[in-house]
Amino acid sequence: MVKLYNSLMPVPTQNNPTGSNFAFTQITPQTYRDYTARIDYKFSSKDNLFVRYTRANYTKGQNDYTVGSVGEQEGPRWVDVPAIGWDHVFNEHTSLDVTFGGTNYKTHCCYYPGYDKYKPSDLGLPSYTDQYAQGINPALLELPVLQIANYENTNPGEPASSIGQTDNVPSTFRSFAIRGSVTRVQGRHTIQTGAEYRWQNASTGIGGNVSGTYNFDKWWGLSLDVSGNFQDKAAESSISVGPRLMWRGEGVNFFAHTMLGLNRLSPKDVPSSNGVGAVLGGGMDVKLTRAVSLRLFEADYVLGRHNFASVVSPVDGRLRRPVLNGAALRTGLVFNFGGAPELPVAAACSVDHPEVMVGEPVHATVAASNFNPKHTLTYTWASNGGKVDGKDTGATIDTNGVGGGSYTVTATVTDPKAKKNNTASCTANFTVKEPPKNPPQISCSASPSTLQTGASATITCTCTSPDNVPVTVGGWTSSGGSISGNGNTATLDTTGASAGPISINATCTDSRGLTASTSSSVTVENPPPPPPQASKLNECQYPNEKKPWRVDNTCKAALDDVALKLQQDSESKLVVVGNADPKEKRKNLAAERAVDVKAYISGGEAKQNIDPSRIETRTGNAGTATSEHWIIPAGATFPGADTTTPVDEAKVKAIPDHPKPVAKKKAAKKAE
């Protein structure tokens, strides 16, 4: 053994008589790995469930100065973190979250893998030391540990020797927690309130339970529970029975129970005690299938009373008759057996009238049975005749356009929240009868019925069916002009049509192909002659600078033509428009020219004698030394009425061509 230890000791790296002769760099490698799995399940429109599990491993190593690092130390740790949660939405503002989880933390300190290469007998120790080392821990058959300062092990409950005792016993720490919170969203504000209960301990034990319930009805049942917790210091088990109250919801159940029974406590190295036990609590189950549910959580208050008077001194009364009380948090699977068989869903259809005439509506209804009354059902309607308008449990079939015969309406009822046994269908028959087939009736009229060539007329037709079936108007034709129709109206264009009557034809057709035709008439007339128009016959120039108003011989000849025109047409009138050049400064010169022309024609030297009332004098703005002579036939108007001004003949008088000389004044008598 000395030889082995000497071989493991390296060459000293320093000379330190009072300290260590070995200086080395300590390396501490660390590794961490974790794995997480999560499953989310939505079992209703308002409920969600998740299950999550995480496994983490952490190892911290530490080398030493020995050859090959035989004394290398490792300290592995493991953590298991399972959790299960449920979320329920009450409405658009409020939701509930419940989570149940736990941790299982194990630590294993000071493991020396290099020592496992050797066992005590390899070092010259007797072979029974191998058995002794293995008896302490079958997994630890390894190099002995030399404890110079304290060879003996004085820890209570452990062997006195340290041979083969190089690994610590693993330590386990467990914690469980249940948390619930309610979230309320109101506008832009969010309010969340909740509570959490957490329990933890350091233990190497395990626990579990099995329970069963017989249901008397949907609310009440009788439960039997068997549970046990087995720790390193003691073991506790119980068997209890009592009533259970269950509230069954949509995919989720809540329960509360209270039970009494036997509680057994078995401390280490002490006789067991059987006492009275009680359980009070409740939990929540999530329905996975009809036969299996997941117990999301169960939280119970557990009570047990015991008597250890035979082994505990009267001095310690609390230990002689201890009372156990605490909390038990559980989760698991619930298996459902028995119960009434599930009835198949069904539906029944009916119609209000099994026989109707074409066009009459048919009303159908459906009655569903054996569906979950808490679920909202969906309804689908179909028919092989007519148009179906369905809403929920009722539908209306429109039979317009349907031929005579027998038809079927079908309703399908579905529970979208149920995964099976969730659909039922039914049918109902009805007969459609066709009425007698009468041809349509049509009448047409034209507006206007008389018009001139080139004008348009509107033709309007009224078409009806005695059988009240759809009708259309078409087939427009005309014996003259051109016709264009749209629906029950058409437009006749008579451009290029000869005078006389024009016949317009139209046809009415119903949806069964029956027709009726009719015609209307429009009379085309030739247009009347155009109305008479005023015309400018001639005009006069006024070149005399001294007498710029004077009607000279040239002008008189033109005026004679004007008078002749008026004599030939006694209904016509004359408009004389006098103009003046802007350079001419004489006042009222344009008006004087107009009245001088009138004076000549009505009573001048030519003796035309035209009635003065037939002559109108006006002044214009042509800007020339002229007078214009317009002949206005009966029914015509003077076109320059807006651009000329009437002459006030009371103020402007005609100037004679040869005025009488001014009389000379008589000479005054000589004084006698």
Q: With 80 as the cut, is the pLDDT of residue 661 above it?
A: no
Tens digit of pLDDT for each residue in 417-451? 888 889 999 999 999 998 778 899 999 999 998 98
Mark whether 257 and 324 lie in a shared domain.
Answer: yes
Mapping DSSP to helix (H, G, I), strand (E, B) and coil, where does residue 565 land? helix
- Identify the pLDDT of residue 213: 86
Q: With 50 as the cut, is the pLDDT of residue 48 above it?
A: yes
Q: Of 110-114, 403-407, 611-615, which range is least confident?
A: 110-114
Q: Are 597 and 579 in contact (CB under 8 A)?
A: no
Residue predicted with more confidence, 230 or 70 = 230
CATH number reported for the structural domain that contains residue 581 in this entry: 3.30.1330.60
Residue 655 binned pLDDT confidence (cut-offs 50, 70, 90):
confident
Q: Distances in Å between the alpha carbon of 222 and those of 215, 286, 520, 595? A: 7, 20, 95, 135
Mark whether 424 and 459 lie in a shared domain.
Answer: no
Q: Collect contacts of 648-652 with beta carbons under 8 A, ≥24 apart.
A: 648/591, 649/595, 649/617, 651/588, 652/588, 652/591, 652/592, 652/595
Q: Which residues partner with 37 through β-bridges? A: 53
**What is the count of structural domains for the chain?**
4
CATH number reported for the structural domain that contains residue 377 in this entry: 2.60.40.10
Asked, for residue 462, whether it belongs to a domain, the answer is: yes
Residue 256 binned pLDDT confidence (cut-offs 50, 70, 90):
very high
Mark whether 512 and 587 lie in a shared domain.
Answer: no
Mark whether 217 and 322 lie in a shared domain.
Answer: yes
Mark whether 427 and 449 lie in a shared domain.
Answer: no
- Identify the pLDDT of residue 118: 67
Residue 159 binned pLDDT confidence (cut-offs 50, 70, 90):
very low
Asked, for residue 602, whether it belongs to a domain, the answer is: yes
Asked, for residue 70, whether it belongs to a domain, the answer is: no
Mean pLDDT of 554-578: 90
Mapping DSSP to helix (H, G, I), strand (E, B) and coil, where does residue 10 land? coil
Tens digit of pLDDT for each residue in 66-105? 766 666 777 777 788 888 888 888 888 898 888 878 777 6
Residue 607 binned pLDDT confidence (cut-offs 50, 70, 90):
confident
Residue 663 binned pLDDT confidence (cut-offs 50, 70, 90):
low
Reduced DSSP (H G I as helix, E B as strand, rest coil) percent helix, strand, coil of the chain, to 5: 10, 50, 40
Q: What is the b/e burial string over 567-604, where b = at least 16 CB atoms within 10 angstroms of the residue's CB?
A: eeeeebbbbbbbbbeeeeeeebbbbbbbbbbbbbbbeb
| DSSP letter, residue 159 | -
Mark whether 510 and 403 lie in a shared domain.
Answer: no
Quote the CA–CA distance of 221 and 339 in Å, as a whole number: 13
Quote the CA–CA distance of 413 and 371 in Å, as a whole number: 9
- Identify the pLDDT of residue 84: 85
Mean pLDDT of 526-549: 88
Mark whether 321 and 381 lie in a shared domain.
Answer: no
Q: With 50 as the cut, is the pLDDT of residue 658 above it?
A: yes
| DSSP letter, residue 597 | H
Residue 509 binned pLDDT confidence (cut-offs 50, 70, 90):
very high
Instruction: Tell me which residue range forms the domain holding 297.
Output: 205-335
Tens digit of pLDDT for each residue in 283-297? 888 888 878 888 878
Residue 670 binned pLDDT confidence (cut-offs 50, 70, 90):
very low
